Amino acid sequence: MQTSIILSATQSIQASIVAHESELESLDRAIGDGDHYINMTRGAHAIVEMQGELATLSPDAALQKIGMKLLSTIGGASGPLLASFFMSMAKTLKENGDDTTEKIATAFAAGVEAIRQRGKADIGEKTMLDVLIPIADTFKTLTSQNADTQLICNTLIRTAEQGMLATKDLIATKGRAAGLGERAIGHIDPGAKSCQLMIEATCKLILENKK
């Protein structure tokens, strides 16, 4: 893993979130608090503005700083959850190294587990974890099989989309949407959508760099 890729990914993620403003706002108005897009774009903008500060750091140190910044920048539940992801991923990379794709997949899975623990949620509860848990599992499986970068990225893009779309038919048990009961059925979870966008943007960036 290279810090330069992390920085490029933050720019791609910011661009994707901004490009999907109307969709994210519409999803959040339906079953959320109506501030998801604002929080996500605020966080993405803050990280992009840190490019100069992050560029000289090792990948794990850069991820740790990103996590701390998100904790102080993003409001609502998303800030602490995303901060936990980046900080746990940073800790795992620092302990295990970042010189193989398998080690990166292990660190990603640790970040997802941190979200699961902090949010006291799991797959099937109409949250961002309906995207992130399948991504973590698939990523670890593919790297253990020595799959090439193209296969990994294309598979993760599809997996993220499938997880995001699956939230449409789920009853929410966490967050504001939980109070809607069956009325939340038919709506995609905004957190799952933003995570799908982040996974897609990062994977497409990596594929483009491989050309």
For residue range 92-147, list pLDDT tens digits in order: 999 999 889 999 999 999 999 999 999 888 998 889 999 999 999 999 999 999 99
pLDDT at 35 over 90: no
By the 8 A CB rule, do 8 and 44 touch?
no
- Domain boundary assignment for the chain: 3-210
For domain 3-210, give the fold: 1.25.40
Q: For residue 119, give both structure tokens.
A: 């949010």
Question: Can you give the pLDDT at residue 31?
Answer: 62
Task: Decide: helix, strand or coil at residue 120.
Answer: coil
Reported as a pLDDT band with limits 50, 70 and 90, residue 180 is low
By the 8 A CB rule, do 189 and 31 touch?
yes
Question: Can you give the pLDDT at residue 184?
Answer: 62
Question: Can you give the pLDDT at residue 24?
Answer: 84
Q: For residue 189, give both structure tokens.
A: 């979870």
Question: Can you give the pLDDT at residue 99?
Answer: 86
